[in-house]
Amino acid sequence: MPHAADTSEPAESPLDRQRRHLQQRAFLTQAVCLELEASAGDYDCERVSVALYFVYHWLVDECGEQDAGSGNFYYRGLHEQDLVPDPEATSAGLLAEVRAGAQVLQDAQLLRWADLADYDNDLEHITASLQNYLSVRGLRARPHSA
């Protein structure tokens, strides 16, 4: 009996998987950062919450639930020992963007968890990390009217 043609995709190499992961992560991180920027300083608004929710659950699906409640959760998989060496360094800029974005995500999560005593300090952190992210991306922050 003839066998059906194998239509499955070839196995993804670890480097290709890492590149795909970084591209998807950069896209989702950008969504949070753009919503933060568009919020005009209302970093606790619903649109930021929804964007952060999607990144969080995508990371849980990609990386597992380990450390899901910790402050380092958004850095999972971004440390040098976690990365596959990229001989062409094609992911270097993307990695810098995702790392800068991880700080924004962490700061946004901490702001959501903040009590009144920590809120102002956490607000300063997220403002600074968002500025850094935009700088890494080569973007300028929009001025916010008071």
Tokens of 102: 């991880």
Per residue in 32-64, pLDDT tens? 999 999 999 888 899 999 999 999 999 999 887
Q: What is the DSSP letter of 42?
A: -
Domain ranges in the chain are 14-80+90-136
State pTM to two decimals.
Answer: 0.82
**pLDDT value at position 69?**
64
Amino acid 76: pLDDT: 85
Q: What tokens were used for 40? A: 């005009």
Q: What is the mean pLDDT of the chain?
A: 84
The tens digit of pLDDT for each residue in 75-105 reads 888 887 778 888 776 678 888 999 999 999 9
DSSP letters for 7-24: -PPPPPPHHHHHHHHHHH
Q: How far apart are CA 62 and CA 23, in angstroms?
A: 13
